[in-house]
Structure 1
Amino acid sequence: MTIIAAFNSDAIAVHDPSPKPLIDPVRLQALLGEARGRFDIDSLPECASTSTVLLGRAAQGAPGGSVIVTDRQTAGRGSRGRCWLASPEASLTFSVLWRFNNGVGRLAGLSLAVGVAVVHALEAFGAKGVQLKWPNDILYDNAKLGGILVELQSEAHSALAVVGIGLNLSMPETIGDGAGFALPPAAVDRILTPVPERHALFAQILIELASKFDRFSNGGFAELRDQWQARHAWQGRSVRLLRDGLLEKEGICRGADADGALLVQTASGVERCLSGDLSLRVQ
């Protein structure tokens, strides 16, 4: 913003040093179609973690549909406490607060449903070959395109979810040493050329999220299971299931159950796994 002040008949330009965020909430609302009004969007140039900020606002009574998007996330939280830096222009990083009438126990598989929403949004722009890895990764060509982190809190007769999503739009200039990350990175610019305009892509993701949240509220993950299975990257593949870095199970991946549990066919039969760090190994 430039402020013009009058002084002795001369115009003096004073430049506002605060950066403008890349996402304009007003412009974004205009692209939401029927979902307009279901989201309250706050765009920040920088924050430590969109999910941390949104959880704080939830504690103060922020409504469902609150969204925080940032250009630069300096301490983003991933699964199992992993952290990363998101750079402006190269990524789309945001969190969404949603309130569900069901209790936390009825929200199993929500991260899988969110994955379906993100893939559907990319497919709306013509993307092909985007897949999902249980429970929270978005893949392309066996590389990580994005990630999802769902944090749940109980409320009286209901529950709230803060859904954090990070999506690589282009490859970052520096990725670091990659320590602790099992998959190489991928980016939308490998799939779609040109990359969809940032507001249009973000609006489409929010539209899909509202639709999937509605379906999930009605019937849980079972409502979206077939769509997730159709995009499951490791269906029928040999996998090892690690917990805290230690091998817990290995076998053939059979997808997800109606409540989002991973199904692994082991020597003892098909077993349900509710949490863990799934990594693929060729046997």
Structure 2
Amino acid sequence: MTLIDPVLLKARLGDLAGRFDVDALDVCDSTNSELMRRAEAGAPSGTVVVADRQRAGRGRRGRSWLSSPESSLTFSLLWRFAGHPASLSGLSLAVGVGLVRAMESLGAQGLCLKWPNDVLLRTGQDFAKLAGILIELSSDRRGMQTIIGIGLNLSPPVGDLPQPAAGVSQAGLGPIDRHDVLAAILTHLAGVLDRFSVRGFAGLKDEWQRLHAWQDQAVQLFGEGEVTKAGRCLGVDDDGALLLETEIGLERIFSGDVSLRPAGTTIGEGCP
């Protein structure tokens, strides 16, 4: 499979083509690391690095993210925001909304979101991970810069996986060109990020909660291999914090170092 062709991608982006500067690589350590280096050298907002293979792709909590051109789309987007880092609370959730919008625009069905940064595919009564988001923040003289890393499974991953995983090919789509997928994602992310820069996550909260896999359901939070909290998940607040109704009242969960599963499951089984 050939690399993403920026010329073909530009045609699909239409009027938005001028907002993105896309570079396609055969291989790199990780698209986030590569883009961070470019950002530090002055790369503009809208710079995109897409790689067919990563030698050291990173996911949340230090997990690795493997990619191959035949079965995945892995890229990072640089986006700059004005203001304080606190104004970026909930950004990973907003990006999830953009991803679902993009895939649904291509005809995907059964997509939902998991706090704080996963896109899932509903498979009967279960869920499988379709995409992951890794956001890294830093600041410079131009304000806050964000590296938005996205790994999307186009086909179901194979091998011994730590959790159920799926590909967009299982979401009601026929054969699809990677240029179409990337163009749709960038188009919808531009709209979401523009709205986020004005209203923060509050402007997207209702949409996120409509897509939330476990809205108003009994859940357990796992951390460090054990249950840390249990209760009814009420979604998120305007800052993107998870709202959990427990025996002691309503609690706001800020830490990303948790794993959310329906009540009654144990580590290594059930939902992602």
Normalising by structure 1, what TM-score?
Answer: 0.88
Aligned to 2:91: 110
Shift of 1:84: 2.6
The 1:67–1:193 alpha-carbon spacing in structure 2 relative to 1, beyond 3 Å, is same
Q: Which moved more, 1:107-116 or 1:80-89?
A: 80-89
User: Which of 76, 81, 90 is the aligned partner of 2:57?
Assistant: 76
* Aligned mates of 2:16, 2:191 — CA distance in 1: 9
Shift of 1:96: 0.2
Aligned to 1:168: 153
Aligned to 2:73: 92
* Aligned mates of 1:57, 1:103 — CA distance in 2: 22
Q: Which moved more, 1:32-41 or 1:213-222?
A: 32-41
Matched, 1:125 2:110: no
The residue type paired with residue 203 of structure 1 is: A
Matched, 1:152 2:152: no
Matched, 1:206 2:186: yes
Tell me if the contact between 1:188 and 1:195 (Cα under 8 Å) persists in the aligned partners.
no
Tell me if the contact between 1:21 and 1:70 (Cα under 8 Å) persists in the aligned partners.
no
Give the RMSD, CA atoms, in angstroms. Answer: 1.4
Shift of 1:270: 1.2
* Aligned mates of 2:2, 2:240 — CA distance in 1: 36
User: Which of 19, 31, 34 is the aligned partner of 1:38?
Assistant: 19
The residue type paired with residue 150 of structure 1 is: I
Shift of 1:247: 3.0
Matched, 1:55 2:36: yes
Structure 1: unaligned runs, 5 residues or longer: 1-19
Deviations along 1:221-264, one digit per CA (max 9) or x if unpaired, are 00111110110001122222233334322111111111100111
Aligned to 2:196: 216
The residue type paired with residue 66 of structure 2 is: L
Tell me if the contact between 2:222 and 2:260 (Cα under 8 Å) persists in the aligned partners.
yes
Aligned to 2:252: 272
Deviations along 1:149-186, one digit per CA (max 9) or x if unpaired, are 011112347201000000000123x33x32xx3x3011
The 1:71–1:157 alpha-carbon spacing in structure 2 relative to 1, beyond 3 Å, is closer
Aligned to 2:224: 244
More strand per residue: 1 or 2?
A: 1
The residue type paired with residue 28 of structure 1 is: L
* Aligned mates of 1:102, 1:34 — CA distance in 2: 27
Deviations along 1:3-47, one digit per CA (max 9) or x if unpaired, are xxxxxxxxxxxxxxxxx8420011101111221110000000111
The residue type paired with residue 232 of structure 1 is: H
* Aligned mates of 1:272, 1:120 — CA distance in 2: 27
Tell me if the contact between 1:103 and 1:157 (Cα under 8 Å) persists in the aligned partners.
no
User: What is the percent sequence identity of the aligned residues?
Assistant: 52
SS in 1 for 2:107: coil
The residue type paired with residue 241 of structure 2 is: A
* Aligned mates of 1:126, 1:42 — CA distance in 2: 27
Matched, 1:193 2:173: yes
Shift of 1:148: 0.4
Figure out how many residues of one structure are paired with residues of the other and give that number.
259
Alignment of 1:223-234 (within 5 A): 223-234=203-214
The 1:195–1:260 alpha-carbon spacing in structure 2 relative to 1, beyond 3 Å, is farther
SS in 2 for 1:37: helix
SS in 2 for 1:280: strand
Tell me if the contact between 2:107 and 2:173 (Cα under 8 Å) persists in the aligned partners.
no
The higher radius of gyration belongs to 1
Q: Which moved more, 1:272-281 or 1:261-270?
A: 272-281
* Aligned mates of 2:226, 2:12 — CA distance in 1: 46
Tell me if the contact between 2:51 and 2:75 (Cα under 8 Å) persists in the aligned partners.
yes
* Aligned mates of 2:263, 2:26 — CA distance in 1: 43
* Aligned mates of 2:23, 2:142 — CA distance in 1: 28
